[in-house]
Amino acid sequence: MISFSKEQIFIVTGASSGIGEGIALLINSLGATVIAIGRNQERLLSLKSKSKNPDSLFLEQKDLTENISELPNYIRTLKDKYGKFTGLVCSAGMDMPSPLVALDLNNGKSLFNINYFAPIFLAKGFVDKRVNIGLGASIVFIASTAGVYPEKGQTYYAASKAALIAGAKSISKEISHRGLRCNCISPAFVDTPMYQKNKESIGTNLSNYALGIGKPSDLADMTVFLLSNKARWITGQNYILDGGCFG
């Protein structure tokens, strides 16, 4: 069984709802300290009220796209505030389903900012030797099956997630000599507020899901494994969790 200590500190972005919330709650319940980052303070407070160990869950309200180039410095300020980090989970993301004829350039830039550039610059800050614990530190990016098996209307979204997957593989090669790891998890449809908002426009065919659509807990379990020493020999991988949809 995987367990953590209070001295192990993990950053989780997108922690105020959906997949990020599920991941933050599980890491916290297993004994670790969690720095939960999200845009919505009310939802962050709700997260804390649900946590098993609220004294080990700290809230940071921030819009990660506000000044992306400064995110490495932001990570360093968090280290000064809380201590060196054991792991980084980038779960914040956004989808804007749109047919090709209706694509808007500004929407595309917004998608890439939150889905690709923000995670990459957070990772840039995290891999600083002054910020992480060194051997055993782990990064997990929450990507999407859209990055491998794109559906119609996902031109921007799929591209941003494919870029994230490729970026993670490149990062893993840069940091492995220091004992740091970087992996991706690519879920198919998971029952989250974002899925509920977009399910009509993306036309989910639930008959393709032999095991049904996913739950945030399904992603949380895999994330915790990749953060733990149980996955000490795993890096540069993209794990597809799809309930049998693309199997």
Residue positions annotated with a catalytic role: 157
Q: In the 8-state DSSP scheme, what is residue 127?
A: T
The phi and psi torsions of 70 (rounded to 5 degrees) equal: -95, 0
How many residues comprise the chain?
247
Alpha helices, DSSP H only, in the chain? 18-29, 41-50, 71-82, 105-112, 118-126, 155-175, 193-202, 216-227
Contacts of 33 (CB under 8 A, 6+ apart): 6, 7, 8, 9, 10, 56, 57, 58, 82
Q: At a CB cut-off of 8 Å and minimum separation 6, what does 43 contact?
A: 16, 17, 21
The answer to whether 202 touches 97, Cβ cutoff 8 Å, is: yes
Cα Rg of the chain, angstroms: 17
Report the 3 state secondary structure along 8-49: CEEEEECCCCHHHHHHHHHHHHCCCEEEEEECCHHHHHHHHH
